[in-house]
Structure 1
Amino acid sequence: MDAADVFVLADNALNDVVQQLREEHWTLSFPPALTTRPAAPLSLWQVIGYHAYDDAWVPDMLAGRTMKDVGPGRYDGDLLGDSPQRAFAALVERACAAACAVDDYDRVVHCSFGDVSAREYFWQTSYFRGIRAHDVARVIDVDSVLSPSLVRALWEALSPRVAQWRAAGVLGPEVPVPAGAPLHDRLLGITGREPAGG
């Protein structure tokens, strides 16, 4: 499975759980333990709003545009509006279409933190979306939305980089899991999450 395919799986996994949010869910607090940079408590609306913002940038990023080219404030403000699930699904659809159109994984993507290859951009964003899909599912108490193929792809991409990403602050401390645990649980463990929803 190539990097764009994994991105599509991860973005759709996040969208799948967003579509399960009920009105009362949007104001729930997102647990600080599920972020590597705890700050003031965030609501699910704020967390999903950030992912909407992130997805809004994907077509421009993959087209090689810089934030300066597009305008740094181009996607500021409320992107979810009165129909948050519909708005989010539309952003995911645009992002996935842009991902599927990439034909050169070595092309440069100009991120806010520096330039990376499209391949690296896909792996970073796929991890972010896939694990966040799990996190949001946990907050609203629904089953994990990570498919076996997504779990395997994230594991294969992430496991060789664990030390590097942990040193960069992307991952929290590892949660030990039994050696024979399912790959889903081992993936959650290396990202600092309790597999059983602890």
Structure 2
Amino acid sequence: MRADTFFLLSDAALRSVIDRVQPGDFDRPVPASWSSFENPTVRHLLRSHAYDEAWIPGVLAGRSVADGDELRDADLLGDNPIASYDALNDAATALVQQGVDPASTFRFQYGDYPADEGLSHLAMYRATQAWSIAKHLDIPFRLPPELIDGLNEWVVPHAEEWRGFGVFPPEIEPPADADDETRVLCAMGFWVP
């Protein structure tokens, strides 16, 4: 699977979950490990994901936060957080669909990566967040089969490396009757019975 396809599948999965978040959930707490905000809520999480979407043009252009970060303090959610996120997601999706230069470098806070690897990092985060947010808010959601394929191709082979960085929790032994979604989540350490 191409890295841009993997990103687009993951980004669409996250949007499908965010679009079902209810305004009454905005003040619900989320695990502290999901956000850099103190006492984070769903609204903080939405702000973080809006920020990630808003940064896609910069990432594709080879910028990093070291070059300046006009988005950090911007109100990206306004009065309608879901619609604001969706607009930023639409713009990011359109840019990636136009094509990503495979020779470009993605400059993240934690290092520089070739475009394909950078896209896979962005995709992995979005896929795991889609599943985690849905589970946390009891939103019915399953990872689409194509996204599971992308996770198995781009992420699972590097799961131990991600664990070494503290990104993934320990691997979980899948139950004997585990389906493909459960197996990939167990490999990344995210599955919860």
Fold-level similarity (TM above 0.5): yes
Matching of residue 151 in structure 1 with residue 148 in structure 2: yes
Q: Secondary structure of 1:30's partner? A: coil
* SS of residue in 1 equivalent to 2:106: strand
CA–CA distance in structure 2, aligned partners of residues 10 and 165 of structure 1: 18
Are the aligned partners of 2:142 and 2:181 in contact in 1 as well (CA < 8 Å)?
no
Give the alignment's Cα RMSD to 1 decimal: 2.1
Please tell me whether residue 191 in structure 1 is matched to residue 188 in structure 2. yes
Aligned pairs, number: 193
What displacement does 1:40 show? 4.5
* Identical columns (%): 31
Who is 2:17 aligned against? 17
TM-score (norm 1): 0.88
SS at 1:110 equivalent:
strand
CA contact 2:7–2:120 (8 Å) conserved in 1: yes
Letter aligned with residue 162 of structure 1: A
Q: Which moved more, 1:54-63 or 1:179-188?
A: 179-188
Q: Tell me if 1:94 matches 2:99.
A: no
Cα separation, 1, equivalents of 2:156 and 2:124: 11
Matching residue of 1:117: 114
The 3 A distance-change label for structure 1 pair 74 and 140 is: closer
1:137 aligns with 2:139: no
Quote the residue 1:53 is aligned against.
51
Determine the structure 1 residue equivalent to 2:161.
Answer: 164
Gap change, CA 1:25 and 1:153, over 3 Å in 2: same
Distance in 2 separating the partners of 1:76 and 1:25: 23
Q: Which residue of 1 aligns with 2:42?
A: 44
After superposition, the Cα gap between the structure-2 partners of 1:79 and 1:37, relative to the gap in structure 1 and judged at 3 Å, is closer
The answer on whether the counterparts of 2:64 and 2:107 sit within 8 Å (CA) in structure 1 is: yes
Q: What's the offset of the Cα at 1:22?
A: 1.1
Q: Which amino acid aligns with 2:95?
A: A
- Listed as ranges, the gaps of 5+ residues in structure 2 are none
Question: CA separation in 2, counterparts of 1:68 and 1:159?
Answer: 30
Instruction: Kindly state the Cα deviation for residue 27 of structure 1 after the two structures are TM-superposed.
Output: 1.0
Deviation of the 1:162 alpha carbon: 1.1
Q: Distance in 2 between matches of 1:119 and 1:179?
A: 34
Q: Alpha-carbon deviation of 1:179? A: 5.1
Instruction: Say whether the 8 Å CA contact 1:10–1:130 is kept in structure 2.
Output: yes
TM-score normalized by structure 2?
A: 0.90
Asked if structure 1 preserves the Cα contact closer than 8 Å seen for 2:4 and 2:100, the reply is no
Q: Is the 8 A contact 1:53 1:76 kept in 2?
A: no
Cα offset, 1:186, TM superposition: 1.1
Query: How far off is 1:59 after superposition?
Result: 0.9
Corresponding residue for residue 62 of structure 2: 64
